[in-house]
Amino acid sequence: MIKSKKRIIYISLVAIVGVVLIFLGSINLEGDNNEEKLDVSSYTKELENKIEAFLLTVDGINKANVIITLDSSNEKVYAQNQSTYDFLTINTDGSESPVYITEIYPTIRGIAISCTNGESDQVKMKITKLISAYLGISANRIEIVGIK
């Protein structure tokens, strides 16, 4: 009789721990950042603004405009085993969803820059080197012109 009570208590504790672990696994400790990830147009605009602000720090550039083109859209990466989603999160409503790992932003196809003194070969070379190093793209993907 005492052994069966201990067994029931043991099984109950294991069940409670299991429920608690499932509940904790469904909580997103980082907040709901997945929904706050930048969409492609926001990502592009943010990069353009950063580059414009950076170009204004370069000697000889007083005004700059930047346009960036991208190859594709964002890609979300989920935990998976071969072709099936084996890693699932159990949501609070009982539904299942794949485990989100990261988001891959699109690659830059090209960048067009218009700036003061953009017609100068020295300025073009300086900007091309800076942008190529910053974005990790080749120089032939960067085009620079002067502003009217």
Residue 124 sits in which domain range? 38-71+106-148
pLDDT of residue 125: 94
Q: How much is the average pLDDT of 122-129?
A: 93
What the block records as the tokens of 128 is 């091309």
């067009």: which residue's tokens? 112
Asked if residue 91 and residue 146 are part of one domain, the reply reads no
In order of 82, 96, 102, 147, the CA distances from 24 in angstroms are: 27, 15, 20, 57
Asked if residue 143 and residue 114 are part of one domain, the reply reads yes
- Spell out the residues 6+ positions from residue 138 whose beta carbon is closer than 8 angstroms to its own: 132
- Spell out the residues 6+ positions from residue 109 whose beta carbon is closer than 8 angstroms to its own: 69, 70, 71, 141
pTM exceeding 0.85: no
Q: Flag whether pLDDT at 34 surpasses 60.
A: no
Asked if residue 132 and residue 122 are part of one domain, the reply reads yes
Q: How much is the average pLDDT of 10-21?
A: 62
Q: Flag whether pLDDT at 82 surpasses 60.
A: no
